[in-house]
Every structure is written in structure tokens, then in C-alpha cells.
Amino acid sequence: MPELLAVALVCATTLSSVDCSRDTALDIIVAPAHSAMECLMHAQASAASAGLPGGEGRYLKVTCERRTKLAAVAEPVDH
């Protein structure tokens, strides 16, 4: 499983780049990546193919994140 995630964030131009995050983005695309180079290229390509980047009043920010491992815990279901 790839350790990196390519993240393309579309944020409003009224928001600074520092404040553009998953919580503040207008749109988000996340995809797995095997290397930092693949991460940057994949995020830009994914955003472009989805028609997300650019436009009036918004901009694209590309980031790479380390994948976090989540442990699934099964809870008993009462019937």
C-alpha cells in the first residue's frame, strides 16, 4: 500500500495559501502515491482531469501527506 497521499485542494482566493486545508477547501481530490514526485504529478493531473483547478475566485493547492493507518474495531451489534 502506498505510504503517500496526493491531495489537490481547491480554495477560494479570499483564503491565504497557509489557511487552505482539507477543512477549508471548496473541493478535494485524494489519491495514493508511491513517491513524492508521483504525488505532486498525480494530484495536479487528477485535479485537471476533474476540471477543478483555476477559475474565477479560486486556486489549486497541491500537497502530499503521509497515509495514516486506521485500526478498524468491530463493535458487537445488538438485535
Which helix (DSSP H) or strand (DSSP E) does residue 30 occupy?
strand 27-33
Residue 48's SS3 state is: helix
- Does the predicted TM-score (pTM) go above 0.75? no
Alpha helix locations (H) across the chain?
36-50
Q: Which residues contact 54 (CB under 8 A, 6 or more apart)?
A: 60
pLDDT in tens, 3-49: 889 888 889 999 999 999 999 999 888 888 899 888 888 777 877 77
Strand partners, 28: 9
